[in-house]
Structure 1
Amino acid sequence: MNEEKPPFKIGISSIGAHLRDPLTNKKITEQERIKQLVDMAIQAEAAGLDIYALGESHQEGFVSAAHTVILGAIAQATQRITLMSSVTVISTLDPVRVFEDFTTLDLLSNGRTEIVVGRGSRVGGFSLLGYSAHDYEELFDEKIDLLTTINHASGAQQAVNWQGKFRPPLINARIYPQPQNGKLQIWHAVGGHSSSAIAAAKRGLPMMLTTLAGESLNFKPVIDVFRQTAEVAGHQAPDLPITTTSWFHTAQTDEQAVEEFYPYFNGMMNELRSDSVPKEFLRRSLAVDNAMMIGSPATIIEKLKYQYRLYKQQQFLAHVDTGALPEPLVRNNIDVLANIIAPEIRSFVVSEPT
């Protein structure tokens, strides 16, 4: 008999990109784009999804520099859905202020808030916010240490005493307001490097693993080393769940999904990275063992089943927009994920051996 498992959670994510439509050469206003991000969360909750995650970026082509403000608006417009950052670039922020912002958001959302902290894949915010990218690793290690120290002290109702290199020490400091349940859930974002997974496990933090493209099997060693390190460090597996994230676009057929998504995916790569990808890249991603969630609902269901057998993760986030993908296509992605794909995957997970 299988052990009773917690429900498999499925949600959507966005990095808050704000790009030009490559087919019309038009770009909506920043205000319209922010409203889209809020509306996506409202639709996701109404459709029955579990999570909405929004990332942070501080450069041209994005509207999510103040992602906590957007999440605050969403908190007031929703009742049930979990609100996550994906990611909060802790390296360039003051962890005291991050904790204050997210505990406030937690109270606004009635305890629905979780933080995902990461180094950031874009370094545009470093100089803007007064830091050097030369301190990339050191900044992250120190800032995440302080944030987790504050969180543990909050849960234990203790003052914070801490000293580091990049900010003045904290001496008998108490940080307010307090989260609804004493502590916040803090996730460690991992981009595919085993060293980051090991660090997450040693810190006792659950892992959000980005699996944007390539064979799903390529990410299995990262998951394995995370769980092995956590076990050696004395952390129980149920306390350190894993979330995977991937690009997502669906249509009635595989070919339609590729044809619809390609101009916007390639346009995003051109605008943000001055790069280009061939359409064949997306056609190859239709394979069941490819991590990119592109295709018909049936194809994506088989891809998610394949991934779950490999990873035994607890959550999946679908990256459903590119920053220019037309709103009807984004809404269809959310609708199909919630009403066709999610029920099938939740049922499948329950039936799979632990």
Structure 2
Amino acid sequence: MLDLALPTTLGATAVAYRLTCPLARDDALSARLISSAVLCALCTGLVLHVRRGLLRELWRTRRVAEAVQSALLRPPPPRVDGLAVAAVHLSADQGARIGGDLYEVVATEHGVRVVIGDVRGHGIGAVGTVAAVLGSFREAAHDEAELAGVLRRLERAVARHLRERAGDGHAPGDAAADCPVAEEFVTVLVLEILPDGEVRALNCGHPWPHLLSGARADPLARADPLPPLGPFPLPPELPVVPCGHLLPGDALVLHTDGAEEARDADGRFFPLRDVLTEAAREHPPTPGAVLRTVLEALLHHTAGPPEDDVALLALGNERPPRPAPAEARGPARSAAADLHPTDHLQFPA
């Protein structure tokens, strides 16, 4: 009723002016100018009212969209089981906060488990697949004792989602229809960090993370990845790749291929490893500082928003150093025990 009150009032005013005001029926030039000014003022008020209503509705829609997007690709907590965590995501679609990239970090009884992935395509059309992968990971990370079991669950979730997509019969012009189901795939990296810092991973066509340690940035592993999820089934055996240890003070940076493949005006790729090496020189390399360094360098390199979605996830080991095993301390303690107690004390003269 309130939204209709102002347009009704302006319309009634225009009609009343036209029917009752003598100036509206006067053919003199001055009277016509006054009538035109009055009608223009009334029309301007009506246009401003409509514009204000559309902007208010747009603001409400954006708030709802941001709430939905934040619930789907929620920001990770700053600390997860002694690990400092930071993440950043850049969508290729202007105005969208999420697209075809995904990540999640959860603490489980099996260790800290992490996933990062990249759906074919970008923007809103890939959100459905992102939701299927993230929803499956958040359940499987707690339920599955082995990392291979987590990946199997992700494979089944993607296959189920693609079957449902194939049966939907997308209408022409649908954003999701631009990416045929038969050609869809998801690159995924799942890894777990055990309490002693040991890192194990399974990689399905995704770029390997970089380990920042001792002013160096090196790939976490160099093993050949498994095929992406979607077009082909995974092999019967899924051997987990041992990736060493994430020691206290070290950082691990996971990323999607949008970071490595970002180009400048001359077509040169973004030197991600060089930027990470520069960031690793600050010891310890905190996740937030590392991502700020990479993000600033990336935006400077591309001179604007990237053409593909970019996701960056950094984890830093802030756990206290674990005490040495008892057997490692045994000889030292036995040698000390051979000394007389007074040999450890000095008495005043």
Shared fold, TM over 0.5 = no
TM-score (norm 1): 0.29
Larger radius of gyration: 2
